[in-house]
């Protein structure tokens, strides 16, 4: 007997206790602002981009301890692993670079400039055609890099807010999510020609392809939905509701399930790829940024930007207990601070609102 999902359950028997629920088995602390994670199941390593530490951390997948930490450019947001060359690529948003590391020993292989004031914030990978694509948010362009020679081989026009890039290797198509423009730029990964524009609504934050199901998914962080499109036609199929502010996603190895990181809720939504229905939610750390499946064990790895941790979930395809989310700051006295009034320039302090209820709005520039 098997369970529909991305990994079979353990065999049952007289001497074997089977747990029919997901379970958090580890949550190591990695550093400040872990935003993305890549996995090498064969080498038993995970690689996490810590955006606020300007570093990539390699984690042992069996012991759940850091193996090495390597400095990259400023504010690395995504990370991709090129297995043929065993190289890691990060897009360093505040350095306008793509840093290339040796995945085994953390040596810096190259640092490639992708523009000036470009704010590169997304990466796509076409291993068959030996290309890495970088979405430049401020420039509204996509930089194409040769994955072997580590050279820029072209720049593809996109739109403002260009970031996350999904690649359909079978059709040779790339899909770049343009956050501010509310669109996808579709391009040919061989010729580097832009092919079409697909309107997807406000705030597309992440896009991933599911070639098994023939779907493309676009996370709409502003409306807490995931748009499902056909890879064959590019036609939007439906909107799938998730929890607050989805920003990261991954597809199970068998294509049967989509996991969505809800940054505003500290959860991951598990969606059935066929029906689009949310089957359950998994409580993780604060501000989950992205996720990946370890194909060898079926475990889900979630990078938590707000907690500085990596949540490891066993049997993520199964429902389980919902852990209460309690932030460490809850119940503590607010620290004193002063800020200039945006209208008058007069300094305002927290003492003015002592013992009163008020709302502070922190706006993220990205």
Average pLDDT by consecutive 10-residue portion of the chain (366 residues)?
39 49 96 97 98 97 96 97 98 98 97 96 97 98 98 98 97 97 98 98 96 97 95 95 95 97 96 94 96 97 97 95 63 75 81 70 53
Number of domains making up the chain: 1
Domain CATH code at residue 235: 2.130.10.10
Q: Which residues pair with 48 in a beta bridge?
A: 37, 57
- Residue 18: Cβ-neighbour burial (10 angstroms; 0-12, 13-18, 19+): exposed
The domain of 241 spans: 24-314
Residue 351 lies in a domain: no
**Which residues touch 100 (CB under 8 Å, ≥6 apart)?**
87, 88, 89, 108, 109, 110, 111, 112, 150
Give the CA-trace dihedral at 192, 145, 159, 225, to 10 degrees: 100
- Residue 180: Cβ-neighbour burial (10 angstroms; 0-12, 13-18, 19+): middle
Residue 13 lies in a domain: no
Residue 362 lies in a domain: no
Residue 348 lies in a domain: no
CA distance 266 to 268: 7
Residue 94 lies in a domain: yes
* Tokens 């690529």, located at residue: 89
CA distance 82 to 226: 27
Residue 346 lies in a domain: no
Residue 149 lies in a domain: yes
- Cβ 305 vs Cβ 34: under 8 Å: yes
Residue 19 lies in a domain: no
Q: Which helix (H) or strand (E) holds 112?
A: strand 108-113
- Is 0.95 surpassed by the pTM of this model? no
- Could you tell me the two tokens for 168? 């359909």
Q: Which helix (H) or strand (E) holds 133?
A: strand 131-136
Indicate the pairing of strand 34-40 with strand 23-26.
Answer: unpaired
């Amino acid at each position: 007997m098997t369970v529909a999902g991305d990994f079979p359950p353990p065999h049952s028997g007289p001497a074997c206790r089977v747990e029919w629920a997901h379970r958090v088995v580890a949550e190591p602390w990695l550093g400040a602002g872990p935003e993305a994670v890549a996995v090498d199941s064969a080498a038993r390593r995970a690689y996490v981009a810590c955006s606020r530490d300007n570093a990539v951390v390699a984690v042992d997948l069996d012991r759940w301890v850091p193996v090495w930490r390597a400095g990259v450019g400023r504010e690395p947001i995504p990370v991709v692993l090129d297995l043929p060359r065993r190289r890691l690529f990060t897009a360093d948003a505040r350095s306008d670079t793509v840093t290339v590391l040796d995945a085994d020993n953390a040596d810096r292989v190259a640092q490639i400039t992708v523009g000036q004031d470009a704010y590169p914030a997304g990466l796509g990978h076409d291993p068959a055609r030996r290309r890495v694509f970088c979405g430049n948010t401020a420039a509204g362009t996509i930089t194409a890099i040769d994955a072997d020679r580590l050279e820029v081989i072209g720049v593809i026009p996109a739109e403002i807010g260009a970031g996350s890039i999904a690649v359909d290797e079978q059709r040779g198509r790339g899909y770049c999510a343009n956050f501010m423009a509310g669109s996808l730029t579709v391009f040919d990964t061989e010729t580097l020609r832009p092919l079409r524009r697909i309107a997807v609504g406000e705030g597309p934050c992440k896009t991933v392809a599911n070639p098994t199901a023939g779907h493309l998914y676009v996370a709409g962080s502003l409306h807490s939905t995931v748009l499902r499109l056909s890879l064959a036609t590019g036609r939007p199929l439906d909107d799938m509701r998730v929890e607050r502010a989805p920003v990261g996603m991954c597809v199970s190895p068998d294509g049967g399930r989509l996991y969505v990181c809800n940054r505003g809720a500290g959860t991951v939504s598990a969606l059935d790829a066929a029906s689009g229905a949310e089957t359950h939610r998994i409580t993780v750390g604060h501000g989950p940024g992205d996720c990946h499946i370890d194909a060898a064990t079926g475990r889900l790895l979630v990078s938590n930007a707000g907690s500085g941790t990596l949540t490891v979930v066993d049997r993520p395809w199964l429902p389980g207990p919902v852990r209460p989310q309690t932030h460490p700051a809850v119940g503590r006295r607010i620290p004193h601070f002063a800020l200039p009034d945006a209208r008058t320039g007069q300094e305002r302090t927290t003492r003015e609102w002592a013992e009163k209820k008020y709302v502070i709005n922190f706006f993220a520039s990205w």
